[in-house]
Each structure stands twice: as structure tokens, then as C-alpha cells.
């Protein structure tokens, strides 16, 4: 459900930049989404299909570039990508770490005609 | 037709973040400490707020923004406790956003408030993604929900300033391992202390009130 305002945000950003570039249409939108950002590709696609008809982005293809969670262990400094439900450091067995990657959520680029 | 790629690199929530920054400046201008309270539905946010108002209302001027999918029930209870409250109905939306809070601030007597609670919509996923302009984030996890929840919602536990394990009066009846819960929260987020409490019996409330007093003073 929270993907609706988020998809509106994506569309607003894409259209602003397309207009600035004098585009007649947007063909592709590249998104970067971290695994910790809490947003589901299918839901964004669902709202995108509802919102885009009649806009510059009608028919545009969404590309989801997923970024895996990366942590730096609090104890030993080892960097690792945790399993979904287990944030145990594979080197020292401590739990968790500083989040280095996985919270990204932005429009990387658009392709226009 | 020529096709070209243009780099954008704009945060998708940038519009929300701009409004949140406005809210933050405005609240700070009034000397208000703002605490965003998040949890699953039914973890006891409203009960905790009522107990907090009873305990602190004499010494601290409190205001509340109540976020709900629908209905005015919680806001009515808060209003009966004698503090200014604004209800936001999200109409199905699962979190508050900065624009909703901006509108709610219009309806609050900001000069009369020192401590503002925002009771977010019951949900452990999306509220973490939307900055509202708050100073602090607090997550509630009730004992019946189970101690393994932090890894189902790492985005939430990783970003909060304090975790309250609520409904501890139910501990004898539930399979809830407090030590394991602390370990999981600390693994995600060593900044956030875990305070176990029961708003019903009052157990642990003093530690929470102490945290709030420090938050208000620390501004
Ligand atoms: Zn380690």
C-alpha cells in the first residue's frame, strides 16, 4: 500500500527530468532499491501501470536494480551480506553491524526520446 | 527518434524529505521535542500514551498527533485525558507522511506544547521510510508478538532511538525471551536501549519517563 505515494514520487521525478530535457516520451526508468528500503517491486510496477497512462511515462519500462544489505561487523569489522533472518557475522559470530548498503532508494537515470 | 539516457540520481522520497525538514524547523522554532511512536497494530501505543500523559501531564505540556487508517476512537481517548490532539485519517494509507503532519501542525497550539507525540499508523514497515520532522523514533514491540520480530522488520529496528517491549504483564503466559530480544535489537542497532514495560501495571514505566525527560531537556 505504501508503494502508491512512492510510485507517484518516481513518476514526478522522471517527468520533471524528461520535461527539462525536452523529451516527447520516457522509454525506461532505472531505480535503485536497497533490500532494507522496504519497497516491493511488484507493487511499484502495479501502481506505475495505473498512474502512467496519458503521461510522458506511458509505456515506459521500469528497471529495478536491487542492492543487497551489506554490514560491517560491530566486533571485528568484517564486511558481509547477512542472510535474511540472520545477521550473524560469518567471521566472529557476533550479531549485526553497521549498515553500509541496503537502504538506497532513488531514481538513477531515465531514457527518453 | 533519438534516444538518450539522462542521469537523475534523485531520492524518491525527496519531496517528503523537504516537507519533513520544514516541519522540523517549525517544531524546533517552538522549542518542541517530537517523538514518533511506531508499532504493529495493537501493540499498545494508545494505552502507553494515556499512561504517559497521566504520569507526565502535570510537569510537561504534551500534545498528540494520532495517525489512523480510519476512525477517531484513539484521538477521543487522548482528548479526554485533557491534552491537545489532532487526528489524521490516512484513508487506507499505512503510514503518515510529512505533508499530513504539516497539516496537523496547523491545528495544534504549538506555543503551548513542549513534548509532541506522533502516534504513527500501526505498521512496522513503511513508517520507517518516511521522515516526518521528528526528533526521536521509538518502536514498540509487544510481548505477544514474539522476540524474533526484529529480523522480520530490520528496517524499523535498525533506525529507531529506543525500543519498548510492551505488555510485559503477559510475560508469564508467552514464550517471549527478553534476553534474546535484546540481543537481536542490539545486533541491528546498538544505539537503541530496550526498555521492558507494562502500561497496565506500571512496571518499567519510570525508565521510559526518565528517557522522555532527558529527551525534552536534551533539546
Ligand atoms: Zn565479526
Chain B interface includes A71 (CB < 8 A): no
Per DSSP bridges, beta strands B194-196 and B162-166 are parallel
Give the span between the Cα atoms of B19 and B132, in whole angstroms: 8
C-alpha cell at A48: 506505475
**Residues within 8 A of B (CB atoms), A 25-54 only:** 27, 31, 36-39
CA A32 to chain CA centroid, nearest Å:
4
Calculate mean pLDDT across residues A5-23: 93
- Compute how many other C-beta atoms are within 10 angstroms of the C-beta atom of residue A110: 27
What lies within 8 Å, CB to CB, of A3 at 6+ separation is A39, A40, A43, A44, A46, A47
Q: Do A108 and B9 touch (CB under 8 A)?
A: yes
Q: Annotate B182-215 with b (16+ C-beta within 10 A) or e (fewer).
A: bebbbbbbeebebbbbbbeeeebbeebbebbeeb
For the question of an ipTM over 0.95, the answer is no
Chain B interface includes A108 (CB < 8 A): yes
Tens digits of pLDDT across chain B (219 residues): 678 899 999 888 888 999 999 999 999 999 999 999 999 998 999 999 999 999 998 899 999 999 987 777 888 999 999 999 999 988 777 789 999 999 999 999 999 999 999 999 888 887 888 899 999 999 999 999 999 988 888 889 988 999 999 999 999 999 999 999 999 999 889 889 999 999 999 999 999 999 999 999 876
Give B171→chain A minimum CA distance, Å.
24
Chain B interface includes A74 (CB < 8 A): yes
Q: Which of A32, A96, A107 to mutate to test the interface with B (most CBs of B within 10 A)?
A: A96
* Ligand 1 centroid – CA A86 distance (Å): 13
Q: Do A13 and B6 touch (CB under 8 A)?
A: no
Amino acid at each position: 500500500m505504501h508503494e502508491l505515494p512512492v510510485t507517484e514520487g518516481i513518476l514526478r521525478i522522471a517527468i520533471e527530468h524528461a520535461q527539462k530535457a525536452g523529451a516527447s516520451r520516457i522509454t525506461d526508468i532505472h531505480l535503485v532499491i536497497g533490500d532494507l528500503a522496504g519497497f516491493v517491486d511488484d507493487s511499484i510496477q502495479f501502481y506505475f501501470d495505473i498512474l502512467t497512462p496519458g503521461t510522458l511515462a506511458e509505456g515506459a519500462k521500469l528497471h529495478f536494480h536491487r542492492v543487497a544489505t551489506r554490514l560491517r561487523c560491530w566486533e571485528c569489522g568484517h564486511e558481509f551480506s547477512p542472510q535474511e533472518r540472520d545477521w550473524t557475522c560469518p567471521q566472529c559470530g557476533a550479531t549485526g553491524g553497521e549498515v553500509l548498503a541496503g537502504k538506497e532508494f532513488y531514481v538513477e537515470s531515465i531514457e527518453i526520446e | 527518434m533519438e534516444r538518450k539516457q539522462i542521469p537523475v540520481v534523485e531520492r524518491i522520497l525527496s519531496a517528503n524529505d523537504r516537507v519533513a525538514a520544514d516541519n522540523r524547523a517549525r517544531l524546533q522554532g517552538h522549542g518542541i521535542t517530537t517523538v514518533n511512536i511506531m508499532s504493529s497494530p495493537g501493540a499498545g501505543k494508545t494505552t502507553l500514551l494515556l499512561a504517559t500523559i497521566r504520569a507526565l501531564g502535570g510537569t510537561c505540556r504534551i500534545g498528540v498527533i494520532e495517525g489512523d487508517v480510519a476512525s477517531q476512537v484513539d484521538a477521543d481517548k487522548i482528548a479526554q485525558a485533557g491534552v491537545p490532539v489532532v487526528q489524521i485519517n490516512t484513508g487506507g494509507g499505512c503510514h503518515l507522511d510529512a505533508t499530513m503532519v504539516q497539516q496537523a501542525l496547523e491545528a495544534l497550539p504549538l506555543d503551548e506544547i513542549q513534548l509532541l507525540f506522533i502516534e504513527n499508523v500501526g505498521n512496522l514497515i513503511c513508517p520507517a521510510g518516511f521522515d516526518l520532522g521528528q526528533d526521536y523514533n521509538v518502536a514498540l514491540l509487544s510481548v505477544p508478538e514474539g522476540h524474533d520480530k526484529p529480523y522480520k522488520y530490520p528496517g524499523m529496528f535498525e533506525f529507531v532511538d529506543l525500543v519498548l517491549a510492551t505488555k510485559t504483564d503477559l510475560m508469564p503466559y508467552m514464550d517471549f525471551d527478553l534476553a534474546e530480544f535484546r540481543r537481536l535489537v542490539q545486533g541491528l542497532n546498538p544505539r537503541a536501549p530496550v526498555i521492558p514495560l507494562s502500561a497496565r501495571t506500571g512496571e518499567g514505566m519510570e525508565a521510559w519517563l526518565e528517557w522522555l525527560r532527558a529527551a525534552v531537556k536534551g533539546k
